[in-house]
Structure 1
Amino acid sequence: MKAVIGDIVIAEAPKDELISIEGNWYFPPSSVKDGLLEKSPTPYTCPWKGECQYFTVDVDGKRLQDRAWSYPTPYEGGIKRVGKDFTDYVAFWKEVKVTE
């Protein structure tokens, strides 16, 4: 599967390596292209997944703030609920298209 903006691939991995959580595909950290995500200071804590790290997606000079996120230290209960460890896996908001 691929996460793309226009013709630029931001992340790519086989579908069986992704994790689906609440309708979003989470990509393994190693599948995300270097240099396209910049940590954002936006705070958020999910009641069951834990503290979220947002990222600004920077592609060809177009900056999309907080359009990617991950959970660097998810709650143990969240990992049990999902059934897999999703530490540092990255999901994307709607402007980033996820396709097979």
Structure 2
Amino acid sequence: MFNTLRDAAKIGMGAVWLSRENIRKFTDELIEMGRVSKEEGERLCDEIGESQDEYKNKLNDLVDNAVQKALDTSGLARKSEVEELRQKVAELEMKLKSK
């Protein structure tokens, strides 16, 4: 399980951690060097940002699924299950007090 999480985290980490500011600087440099027009630079910046958002979402889903799978196989109780048991205990305590 650890290997799966580690591998998921490694995939494309550079792209995920690039800030919008760094993406903007990169495209501004391309514009200044004359490699792309201002319009192309803007579009490139937008596309990289959108791709970055999509990748972050996919990575989050992958990690969430891996963690969920690990929890399902670990036998640990979920927060909702613990809360349900607390409510049942509270109900039983109330019944015992009323007798």
TM-score class, shorter-chain normalisation, is under 0.3
> Higher strand fraction: Structure 1 or Structure 2?
1
TM-score by length of 2: 0.22
Determine which structure has more spread, i.e. the larger CA radius of gyration. Answer: 2
> Higher helix fraction: Structure 1 or Structure 2?
2
Structure with the greater relative contact order (CA < 8 A, sep ≥ 6): 1 or 2? 2
